């Protein structure tokens, strides 16, 4: 098991001037750290951790930038980034804790990347065995974060995933990765086009490189997790 490591959801402050901007970043780092720890890798339903706190699942094609998004959220190299597509064949679970709190608040579930021809046979075997059961039946799954590379034209595999999430009734968020590679104008056009293709999805542009979108994604994650935790408390009281 890896040692816990420190990161920051990085709540920004609207301050003018670069000196103040630097100050606000260091304040944010002091104020909003998270502790994260790898807890399990599952290739079978029997290996899933016992359901406990709300879970956030991260899904996307290989190379979409999924590991980079997870690492940028927690501020450390928790998930592996790799130039070898489809290397991660398990669901990897990480617990997320706020400093000073005794128990984890959240679990991040990093799902296997999909969509490369040479691994499509494996994928077709893996989905029914443990990925679909996870997405359909996991009682603590609170939010699916579906990642799409905003620089790449929409792929059939992405449409399939989004269709699956739509019909599963799961709350999901569509995160458009690598937004730093586009100009502001190009990004607006690309986001509009994604909105037209996936009208039901909540959309968020994201760059692990610059940190753009990180605060908004943390806000969504925390909101969903708090709602879920509140609902379980109410259920326990009744
Ligand atoms: P994964 O296979 O989905 O986990 O993708 P990785 O996180 O390993 O990233 C795949 C490649 O995209 C790597 O070469 C990363 O450096 C690059 N990448 C990931 N996120 C970003 C980003 O926000 N901006 C840019 N420019 N490149 C990125």
DSSP 129-180: IIIHHHHHH-TTEEEEEEEEETTS---HHHHHHHHHHHHHT--EEEEEE-GG
Q: Which residues pair with 204 in a beta bridge?
A: 175
Closest by alpha carbon to 53, among 129, 4, 108?
108
CA 60 to centroid of ligand 1, rounded, Å? 12
pTM: predicted TM-score of the whole model, two decimal places: 0.84
- H-helix or E-strand containing 177? strand 172-177
pLDDT for res 3: 38
pLDDT in tens, the chain (238 residues): 343 444 444 333 333 333 333 333 333 333 468 999 999 999 899 999 999 999 999 999 888 999 999 999 998 888 876 544 444 578 999 999 988 888 999 999 999 887 755 555 555 667 778 888 999 999 999 999 999 999 998 888 888 888 888 888 899 999 999 999 999 999 999 999 999 999 989 999 999 999 999 999 999 999 998 898 777 667 667 6
Q: Which of 81, 114, 152, 204 to mutate to test the pocket of ligand 1 (most atoms within 8 A of CB)?
A: 81
DSSP 24-81: HHHHHHHHS-EEEEEEEEESSGGGSPPP-S-EEEEEEBTTSSHHHHHHHHHTS--SPP
pLDDT for res 45: 94
pLDDT for res 1: 39
pLDDT for res 229: 76
Residue 178 Cβ inside 6 Å of ligand 1? The answer reads yes
Closest by alpha carbon to 56, among 93, 88, 82?
93
pLDDT for res 163: 87
Q: Which two tokens stand for residue 53?
A: 């706190």
Distances (CA, A) of 89 to 44, 151, 210, 225: 11, 25, 28, 26
DSSP 8-state code for residue 146: E
Take atom 6 of ligand 1 and give the residue whose Cα is closest.
65
Q: Which of 58, 63, 65 to mutate to test the pocket of ligand 1 (most atoms within 8 A of CB)?
A: 65
CA 229 to centroid of ligand 1, rounded, Å? 32
Q: Which of 68, 109, 161 to mutate to test the pocket of ligand 1 (most atoms within 8 A of CB)?
A: 68
pLDDT for res 82: 54
């Amino acid at each position: 098991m890896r040692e816990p490591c420190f990161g920051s959801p990085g709540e920004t402050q609207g301050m003018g001037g670069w000196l103040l901007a630097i100050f606000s970043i260091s304040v944010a780092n002091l104020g909003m750290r998270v502790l994260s720890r790898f807890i399990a890798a599952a290739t079978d339903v029997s290996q899933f951790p016992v359901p406990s706190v709300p879970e956030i699942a991260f899904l996307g094609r290989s190379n979409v930038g999924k590991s980079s998004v997870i690492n940028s959220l927690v501020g450390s190299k928790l998930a592996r980034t790799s130039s070898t597509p489809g290397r991660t064949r398990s669901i990897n679970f990480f617990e997320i804790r706020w400093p000073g709190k005794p128990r984890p608040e959240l679990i991040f579930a990093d799902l296997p990347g999909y969509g490369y021809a040479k691994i499509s046979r494996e994928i077709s075997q893996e989905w029914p065995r443990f990925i679909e059961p996870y997405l359909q039946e996991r009682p603590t799954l609170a939010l699916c974060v579906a990642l799409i590379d905003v620089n790449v034209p929409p792929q059939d595999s992405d449409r399939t995933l989004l269709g699956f999430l739509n019909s599963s009734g799961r709350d999901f968020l569509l995160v458009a990765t690598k937004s730093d590679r586009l100009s502001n104008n190009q990004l607006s056009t690309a986001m509009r086009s994604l909105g037209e293709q996936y009208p039901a999805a909540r959309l968020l542009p994201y760059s692990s490189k610059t940190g753009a979108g990180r605060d908004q994604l943390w806000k969504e994650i925390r909101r969903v997790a708090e709602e879920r935790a509140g609902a379980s408390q109410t259920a326990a009281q009744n």
